[in-house]
Each structure stands twice: as C-alpha cells, then as structure tokens.
Structure 1
Amino acid sequence: MPLIVLLAVTLAGCGDKTPQPAAAAPAPVTVAQPTKRTVTDWDEFTGRFEAVEEVQVRARVGGFVTSVEFRDGAFVNTGDLLYVIDSRPFEAVAEQANGQLSDARAKAELGKRELDRALTLNQTQAVADSIVDQRRQTLQAAHAAILQAEGALKAAQLNIEFSHVVAPIGGRVSRHLVSVGNLVQGSDGGGAATLLTSIVSLDPIYIYFDMDEATYLKNNRLYFEGKRPSSRDTPNPVQVALTGETKPSHDGKVDFLDNRLDVSTGTLRGRAIIPNKDFSILPGQFGRVRLIGSLPYEALLLPDTAIATDQSRKIVFVVKDDDTVEARPVVLGPLDEGLRVIREGLKPEDRVIVDGLQRARVGAKVSPHAAAAAPAGSKT
C-alpha cells in the first residue's frame, strides 16, 4: 500500500511541468512601394499685389468744380470724363489771345507790303537803304508777334481742355475727393495741385516678393549647373495662392529681379505678373508665391505618415525580403501634391511601412500587407 501511494505521488509530480509559451506572431503592417513620377521643385514666398499702373488724378488748372462725372469705385476707360472745372475764364483768355493773333497777322501783312514797296523804290534810289532795313526789321517783329500770339492761344486752348479732367489710364477709380462747388488749385498756380481721385489698373497685376539670400544662391548655383533657367533671362512660371486658399489659383511669370540685395533684410526683391481677367485681385492683397525651383525630374515620393524622426535624422522603415524591418535614413525634399519627395535613401522596389509604424521593431519580423490603394496625392 505505501508503495502504491509513492508511485502515485511520483507520477503526479511528473505531470505538473509548466508548458513553454508559443512564439509571438509577426506584427501586421501595411507596406507600399514609393510613388515614382516627374516633379518640379517650388520655392515659396509671401508677396503683396500692386497695380501695374497707378495714377493720382490732379487738377491741371485751377477753378471751381462744376460736375463730377464718375461713380465712386467704378471701372473707367482711358479718356473717360471724370471732372469738369469752370472753363469760362480760360475761354475769355482764349478769345483775347485770338484777337492778338489777328492783330499780329494784320501787322505782318502791312509790314510785308511796305517792305515790298521800299525794295521797289530802292532800285531807283528813291528810298534809302536804311529805310529798307527798317521795314525789314518791322516785318520780322510782326512775325515774332504772330508766334507769341499763337503760343498764347494754344496755352489758353490747353487750359480749356484741361478744365475737362479725363482718365489717363483704364482701371478702377477711387472715390471723388472734391465735390461740386469747391475751388481746386491747378499745377500752374505755383502750389501743389489738388488731388481729385486715383485710378489703378487691374489686369494684369503685379505681385512683389522677397527672396532670401540662401534661395537666391541655390537658384544661382542650379542655373550655372544647367538645372534651372534664370529668372533674369527667362519668364519662369509662378503659382499664386490667395489668403485662405490651400492650393494655387492663379498662374503667372516672373518679369523682374532687382539688381541688389536689401542690406537691411538680406533679401532680393522679385516681381511676377499675373493675369486678372475678372478683376478679383486688388492691389494691397497678400498672396503666397510659388516660384519654380528646378527643372522637371523623376522622383520617389512617400506620404509624410511613413517618415519617422530619429534624433536629427529622418528615417523610414523598410521590410526586407525575409520580412524583417530595417531603418533606412533618408533625405527629404519638398511636398508635391500631398506626398513628400525622397531625395536619397530609397529604391523604387523598396517596401516601405506606411501604416503600423508603432508596431515595427528594427530586426523583428513583421507580416506585411500591400496597401489597398496608392498613397494619397499620387498620380495614376
């Protein structure tokens, strides 16, 4: 009996061994190959729109304003009547100048007849040479009086013309600054001419932006390497996004770069010209300017969610052929339609973890699954 109990205890002890835990299953991750397409780098700057043409309309002659011929804020064409200034004083001066011109012409005609008569009599020595010289001088003075009178008449006629203030350019006019009945000072009065209103052209429109020195040096280097045309020689394209827009809505071209950097800001002033057919952009608005930064080139792209940071490095997790994870340092480029350009560190055939990065461990096996669709922003 004791032998049976001892045998039972021994058998029970053999059956109480702890089973070994099963190996952990590989973590599931989603992988995708980099998107390959032709891209162009762009440099971005903040710019401000300004009118191609802007005119302050001032009175050229003084007088009382008799009418305002435009609606505040309206669009006007070149030559449209804006103001009328009382022209009666100038018309009176013109009549006086016209009378003086007629008198000068009559004197010149009389002087010519007297000179001809003196020349005829001088042939027979009936009139002395001094008389001929005197009458020739009288005729010359009469011709000079004609020129003076003609000048005075033209000036008076110009003043009459200037009493009708017209738009020197086409564009949108501001409000009227002088009302009917007010006396305005002209530019011929010795003082500052009265400002009546202003006009700005709207189509096309300029946008000015300031390029930092580093970008200028980069673009200059690319130009000498033949990788980017110079904006001084080529109207390089720009894209402009207005305030509140997430994507550019207007296209234009660079048409000016300044000849020196601003020493106070270390920036170079540039200008692009933008079509504005619907007049929706006004001078003074801000915009984001995207300036072409390279020639088109083939690039590999990934979504930003696939990129991790390891201290100062940017890395991606690549699944190798044996389904183990490798951390791959990469050099990043700009965003292009929602995807990040990878300049260095990737091959087109690499399988990059785009979802499940938190489950990936360097050197560990994973269970890779191909992404159901192309990463957001990629082109088909």
Structure 2
Amino acid sequence: MLRFNTSSFKLGPKTRWGAGLGAIAGIGVAAAMVAGGAQSQEAAPPPPTVTVARPLVQDVAEWTEHTGRFVASADVEVRPRVSGYLQQVHFREGQVVRQGDLLFTIDAAPFRAAADRARADVAQAEALRARAESEFARAQTLLSLDAISQEEFEARRETAAQAAAAKLAAEAALRTSQLDFEYAHIRAPITGRISDAHVHAGNLVRAGESVLTRIVSLDPIHFEFSAPESLLAAASTNPQTGERHVLLQLEGEGEFSHQGRIDFIDNAVDPQTGTIRGRAVFANNGQFTPGQFGRVRIIAPDAAPSVLVPEVAVAADQTHRYVLVLNDENVVQYQAVELGPRAGDGLRVVRTGLDGDERVVINGLQRAFPGSTVTPQPGEVTFTSQPAREG
C-alpha cells in the first residue's frame, strides 16, 4: 500500500497569497449575484395601463341596408291599332311625353273614306227604316178595317224590324270606321320618357304587330330589392298614413337622403337566399333612371334598449368574437359575445355576453391578455343618435 506524508506538502507564500485572492474573488462574485438579483426584483415593470369603460346601454332603432336597382313604374310598347303606311313622327326621341300627346300619324285617307261610306250607309238605313215603320203603321190601320190579311200584316211588321236592325248595324259600322280613323293618330298611352322611333315615315305598319316605340314611366319610379321577410314587415311605419318608409343612397353619395315608401312585398320567400322581394316607390324629378343601382335602408319602427361597445374593443379568434373585461382584482378575462348591428359612430350592438356592468378594455388590447394583471384607466363610451345597421 502506498502512503503519502501530508506534512511534506506545505504551501509557500505565493501559493497562500493566490489562494486568498481566489477566495476573495469567489465571495465577490457571490455578492454580485445577490446584488444583481435584488436589483432585478426592484426593477420589475408595473402592470401595463389600459383604458376601460362600462358598456353603454342605449335605446337603438336597428336598420339594414340592401342593394337594388331602379325599374320603371310602367313600361309600354307602342303598337298601331290599325294597319297602314306611317305618315309622320311627331316627337323628339328621348323626350318626356304626356299621356295623350300625338306620337305618330298613319295615312288616314282610307279610314276617312271608310267613315264617309259608313255614314252614307247609316243615312240609307235610316230611310229604309222610316219607310218600313210607315208601312207597318198603315198595315195596323188596314188590319183593324179587315182591309189586309193577317199574313201581310206580319210581313210588314217583320220588314220594319229588319230595317231597324239594319240601321243599328250601319251605325255600328260608322263607329268602327270612326275609331279606325282616330287610331290612325297614335297617342301616348302614359306619361313618361319615350325611346327612339323604331319605324320611320313611309313604312307599312300592321295592327298589333309593329312596335313603333317604347315609353317608360319615371315619376314615380320603383326600386326593387331583396331583404329578409321579417325586416320588410317591421319597416318603420308612418303613424299618419300607415306607409312603411325607407331611405335611399345612390352610388357616390355619402348620405341616405332620398325618402320613399314600400308599396309591394312579394308573396313567397326565395328558398335559396331566404329573402323576399320588395319594392319601394320614390318621387323622381329626373335624378333616377331605370337600371340605376343604389342602396336602400330599412329602419325598424321602434327603438329597443341595447348594450353598445366600441368596435375597436371587439376582437376575434377562430370560434368567437370576444371582448376583454377586468374583474375586481384587475385581472383580464376573456368574454365571448354575439354582435348585433353597428350603431352610432364606431359602436356595435352586443346581443349576448354583456349586460352593461362590466369593465371592458376599450384601448390597449395589445397590452392585455387573459390572466394578466393590468392598471385600468377610466374611459367613456359615447353615442351619437343614429339607427343601427347590420354589418
């Protein structure tokens, strides 16, 4: 077995000095570490500051917007009611015409001649009727004197009846020829804007076949759109007239400045879209044109109490819309919400999830997360009186 004599191992002065320095250095490092830990604890940042406010509970009239287009309230194809050669066009293409304005003239000479002939036929029939009536009256006298037979009396009575019927037929033929003469002058059936002339003077037109032009009625004008049936039924109603009012915005306009009324709701819901076709009517002084697009706003008739929060306070994850609220210890909590329409200036109706007593984070969401502690700074939710809209 090997043995070591520890007494023979002695530290020299330099070795003892180095060992002392090492011990001192170790103590210094340990002290520095303790001091650094204390400084780290003392420099821990305070909880982040966020702005919180209680939701606003306010009566809000909800509304929705729907895209649609204008259509003419009446659209008429002008066709001739008699055949003949078109003689003259009396309108300027594209102008507004009034009901009864003369539009076209068909050569009326044949119809004038037919009327004159029918008038002569009436005069002839009247003469024959008068003679037959006179003969019948004389036959009655002769029969009472037994001067004629009963058979001859019946014959004269039948002749008088035939003459009266012939006169009625002649008068009917005269009226028909007069109508044909009148129909040769084609007039506007409605008031509206007329299209161009599809047939020009000199062409042969046929009764009921040739389309001469087209007139659309523009005042009032219709606006067709589709919306959920419940919204159309609940549109705001004028208490004096019972009419359901809507507002309209044209493309490029900032406001819904045109007021109209719903005059028609279809009788069936579209099974593919779940909507029903509606129609509003607007007065038109020239700013609306058939085919033009716009947006119609349907306003609910009554305002209802609603919980409102700023839209900037609402966030979304993969499954829910949510807001962040603080408990009594200022700890952030996740609160799922169901949103309703927009309301006021930058506010959103909350249908479920909040009752109005919560402290909701409305600014600084990026500095708060569920489970963290924050420093609340009081804020306020303000409301401008506007209807609420879906979106």
Query: TM-score band (shorter)?
Result: 0.7 to 0.9
One-letter code aligned to 1:199: I
Quick one: structure 1 residues 150 and 269, their matched pair in 2 at CA, closer, same or farther if it must change by over 3 Å? Answer: farther
Report SS of the residue matched to 2:112. Answer: helix
Which of 30, 34, 38 lines up with 2:59 in the alignment? 38
**Residue in 1 aligned with 2:308?**
301
| Matching residue of 1:207 | 223
1:31–1:203: structure 2 CA closer, same or farther, 3 Å change rule?
Answer: farther
User: Is 1:250 matched up with 2:250?
Assistant: no
Do the aligned partners of 2:265 and 2:279 also contact (CA within 8 Å) in 1? no
Moved more, 292-301 or 93-102: 292-301
Alpha-carbon separation, structure 2, partners of 1:312 and 1:121? 110
SS of residue in 2 equivalent to 1:52 = strand
Q: State the Cα distance separating 1:155 from its structure 2 match.
A: 0.6
Determine the structure 1 residue equivalent to 2:160.
139
Q: Aligned residue pairs: how many? A: 359
The question of 1:198 aligning with 2:199 is answered no
- Take 1:238 and 1:129, find their aligned partners in 2: how far apart are those partners? 81
The structural deviation recorded for 1:45 is 3.7
* SS of equivalent to 2:267: coil
The alignment status of 1:356 with 2:369, answered yes or no, reads: no
Q: Equivalent residues in 2 for 1:56-95 (5 A)?
A: 56-95=77-116
Give the stretch that moved more between structures: 115-124 or 248-257.
Answer: 248-257
Counterpart residue number, 1:20: 39
The verdict on how the C-alpha distance between 1:368 and 1:271 changes in structure 2, with shifts beyond 3 A counting, is: same
Report Cα offsets for 1:11-31 as digits up to 9, x if no partner: 966863314322212222233
State the identity %: 39
1:314-351: CA deviation from partner (whole Å, max 9, x where unpaired): 11112344433222211111222442111122233433
2:142 is the alignment partner of 1:121: yes
The structure-2 alpha-carbon separation of the partners of 1:107 and 1:28, relative to structure 1 and needing over 3 Å to count, comes to: same
The amino acid across from 2:73 in the alignment is V
In 1, the alpha carbon distance for the partners of 2:350 and 2:293 equals 31
Structure 1 residue 254, shift from structure 2 partner: 3.0
Q: Distance in 1 between matches of 2:274 and 2:173?
A: 53
Which shows bigger deviation, 42-51 or 142-151?
42-51
Corresponding residue number in structure 1 for 2:330:
323
Deviation at 1:96, TM superposition (A): 0.2
- Residue 266 of structure 1 and its aligned partner are, at CA, apart by 5.3
Work out the CA distance in 2 between the residues paired with 1:202 and 1:35: 45
Q: Post-superposition shift, 1:92?
A: 0.5
Q: Please report how far the alpha carbon of residue 229 of structure 1 lies from its aligned counterpart in structure 2 after TM superposition.
A: 7.7
Residue of structure 2 equivalent to 1:277: 284
> Which amino acid in 2 is paired with 1:260?
A
1:299/1:361 CA distance change after superposition, 3 Å: same
Q: 8 Å contact 1:204–1:273 — kept in the other structure?
A: no
**Alpha-carbon distance, 1:296 to partner:** 2.2
The 5 A counterparts of 1:364-379 are 364-371=372-379, 374=381, 378-379=384-385
Do the aligned partners of residues 284 and 14 (structure 1) sit closer, same or farther apart at CA in structure 2, a change above 3 Å counting? closer
Which residue of 2 is the match for residue 110 of structure 1?
A: 131
Q: What is the CA distance between 1:292 and its match in structure 2? A: 4.5
Equivalent in 321, 330, 340 of residue 314 of structure 1: 321
Partner residue, 1:166: 187
User: How much has 1:37 moved relative to structure 2?
Assistant: 2.5
Contact 2:262 2:281 in 1 (8 A): no
Aligned to 1:185: 206
SS in 2 for 1:89: helix
Unpaired runs of 5+ residues, structure 1, are: 188-192
SS at match of 1:260: strand
Q: What is the match of residue 335 of structure 1? A: 342
TM superposition shift of 1:293: 5.8
Q: 1:190 maps to what in 2?
A: none
- Cα distance, 1:278 vs structure 2: 1.9
State which drifts further: 291-300 or 110-119: 291-300
Cα deviation, residue 175, structure 1 = 1.5
Question: What letter is aligned with 2:47?
Answer: P
Q: Check conservation: 1:252, 1:272, Cα contact below 8 A.
A: no
Equivalent-residue separation in structure 1 for 2:261 and 2:156 (angstroms): 69
Change (3 A) 1:183 1:12: same
How big is each residue's C-alpha offset from its partner over 1:122-147, in whole Å with a ceiling of 9 and x where there is no partner? 22112222222111111111111111
Q: Is the 8 A contact 1:204 1:275 kept in 2?
A: yes
Q: Whole-Å Cα distance in 2 between the matches of residues 230 and 355 of structure 1? A: 36
Paired with 1:161 and 1:355, the residues of 2 have a C-alpha distance of 78
Q: What RMSD, in angstroms, separates the aligned Cα atoms of the two structures?
A: 3.3
Q: Quick one: distance in 2 between partners of 1:261 and 1:305?
A: 36
**Structure 1 residue 6: deviation in Å?**
6.9
Q: Distance in 2 between matches of 1:339 and 1:183?
A: 67
Q: Offset at 1:115?
A: 1.5
Q: Distance in 1 between matches of 2:339 and 2:268?
A: 31
With normalisation by structure 2, the TM-score equals: 0.80
Q: Could you state the TM-score of these two structures normalised by the residue count of structure 1?
A: 0.83
For residues 351 and 327 of structure 1, the distance between their equivalents in structure 2, rounded to whole angstroms, comes to 12
